[in-house]
Structure 1
Amino acid sequence: MDVPTYQPSHRQDGHRVRHDWGITGAGAIAVDVDIAVVVDVLSFTTTLSVATDAGIHVLPYPWDDQDAGRFAAEHDAVLAVGRRVAQPGQISLSPATVRTADPPPARLVLPSPNGSTIAHRLAGVAGVVVGACLRNATAVAEWVEERYDRRSATVAVVSAGERWPDGSLRPAVEDLWGAGAMLLALADRGWQDLSPEAGLAAAARRATAPDLAAQLAACASGRELHESGFGADVDIAAELDRSASVPVLRGHAFVPA
């Protein structure tokens, strides 16, 4: 990952728990930290959590990379196809297709334009890369709490966001909620020194507590999926803390911690 020089303020230096957006934000806050947590609720990290529940090893890869097929073949993995071009029985970025795969593959290359691309780029430049979503936010926080010293470890949580048609970052509220869920769970376990950006994400998650599923369905990304016939993916994404799996990137693949 080519890392530009960022001002200490933009790196959120001085705070042990940080939050920012997209591939550029990941480069600013997640390089050389102890733990980088990637959040892409609709749908990379939700699909990742469903796959990890099933024991599938998931290889992140950039979206629209022409070498994805070769990469999958080299790693004896199934290549997920685009959600809108998947045929019956094919696995795509849709978590519903992973949940119903029969039999599930042992290894899956799962490209996505946001979360998967960020995870692929962070490999080797962050200490440990973990995938989190609403389904496993508390499990991830518990895993971090068990293995790291809150007085010294640095945690960078990256909300992947979505893309506008021109390719620019569209901050996606579902990723803010997913990041906030993990950050709030850390704070509840005694982690302090959250940056203001991280504190805002935690507060955003707290604000959705009474009706998270309804708000997830009503947000822009949720509506887009419902209107495209993928409402089941939104329902799976709303399965708050239903998963105890913690996907950790080891080499090329996310594996269950």
Structure 2
Amino acid sequence: MASAPYTQSSASIRFDWGLPGALAVAQGTQIVVVVDVLSFTTALSVATEAGIEVFPYRVRDASAASFAASRQAVLAVGRSEAGSAGVSLSPLSVQAASRPGGVLADRGRLVLPSPNGSAISRALSERGVMVIGASLRNAPAVALWVKRHAAGAPVAVVAAGERWPGDALRPAVEDLWGAGAVISALSGAPSPEAQAAVAAYRQVAASLPRALAACASGQELIADGHGDEIALAAELGTSVAVPVLQGECFRPA
């Protein structure tokens, strides 16, 4: 349990990074919004708007395959393994597979492993917190849903971030922007940390595709041949789907 200063308990809208930050600011809240723009929560928004149930999973290993089989779900694999026809963490692959005739449209369930957004979502849910998945695509819809359901109670927004070699947290600026997009549309008293996220988002709000392509995570996707995913991730407010983690899977609110 984090000590009082790190819970941001004096604010009704809180913000922090990664799993340790999520566990700190979740104390005393009922709703936590998790943001992982490149690419977990963007893929989640695409799946949810197609009516696909999404099971977050911490790692992609043999246990994930067993878990997917037990839930009669499609397991998302690595981008290179998926190729042009399989399902991976790529939102474009989820979008294609959700169309009529696609494997997700037929099966209706997806296990989506991710060491960041997915792992944080599962950990929070296991502690009894309601988890909402937000990306730039559905940030306004998520904020509206949260305002209606929080009933004035504190809300936490968590930027998932990425991992350095050695498993240390790498704060990823695209998640800061996504968190800021959600927080900017909420009502309440934001912590200084939450205010900083809003300021960062407003700095790039008019040029999100360019900013996402230029940031480190975007450059990594481009270098790996997946730069075509960035335009989809930058679609601010195009989705009204609000993924709510109920039990072990995300469903549309």
Q: Which residue does 1:238 correspond to in 2? A: 234
Choose which of 118, 139, 142 in structure 2 pairs with 1:140: 142
CA displacement at 1:10 relative to structure 2: 0.7
Q: Which residue does 2:25 correspond to in 1? A: 29
Choose which of 246, 250, 254 in structure 1 pairs with 2:246: 250
Deviations along 1:98-150, one digit per CA (max 9) or x if unpaired, are 11114223000000110001111111324310000100000000111122222
Is the Cα–Cα contact under 8 Å of residues 31 and 125 in structure 1 kept in the other structure?
A: no
Q: Which residue does 1:172 correspond to in 2? A: 172
Percent sequence identity is 54
CA distance in 2 between partners of 1:146 and 1:121 (Å): 25
CA displacement at 1:167 relative to structure 2: 1.3
CA distance in 2 between partners of 1:75 and 1:160 (Å): 26
Structure 1 residues without counterparts, runs of 5 or longer: none
Is the Cα–Cα contact under 8 Å of residues 114 and 162 in structure 1 kept in the other structure?
A: yes
SS in 2 for 1:244: coil
Deviations along 1:184-221, one digit per CA (max 9) or x if unpaired, are 011xxxx1211110111011111112211111110000
Q: Which residue does 2:126 correspond to in 1? A: 124
Is the Cα–Cα contact under 8 Å of residues 123 and 249 in structure 1 kept in the other structure?
A: yes
Indicate yes or no: 2:240 matched with 1:229: no
Query: What is the correspondence of 1:40-189 to structure 2 with a 5 Å cutoff?
Result: 40-101=36-97, 102-103=101-102, 104=104, 105-150=107-152, 153-186=153-186
Question: Higher helix proportion, which one?
Answer: 2
CA distance in 2 between partners of 1:253 and 1:108 (Å): 9
Deviations along 1:22-78, one digit per CA (max 9) or x if unpaired, are 011111112441111100000000000000111100000002443111111111111
CA RMSD of aligned residues (A): 1.2
Point out 4+ residue stretches in structure 1 off by more than 3 angstroms.
none
Letter in 1 for 2:182: M
TM-score by length of 1: 0.93
Structure 2 residues without counterparts, runs of 5 or longer: none
SS in 1 for 2:218: helix
Query: How many residues get paired?
Result: 247
CA distance in 1 between partners of 2:233 and 2:239 (Å): 11
Is the Cα–Cα contact under 8 Å of residues 31 and 150 in structure 2 kept in the other structure?
A: no
Choose which of 185, 199, 204 in structure 1 pairs with 2:200: 204
SS in 2 for 1:88: coil
Letter in 1 for 2:180: G
CA distance in 2 between partners of 1:127 and 1:26 (Å): 11
Letter in 1 for 2:229: D
Letter in 2 for 1:120: R
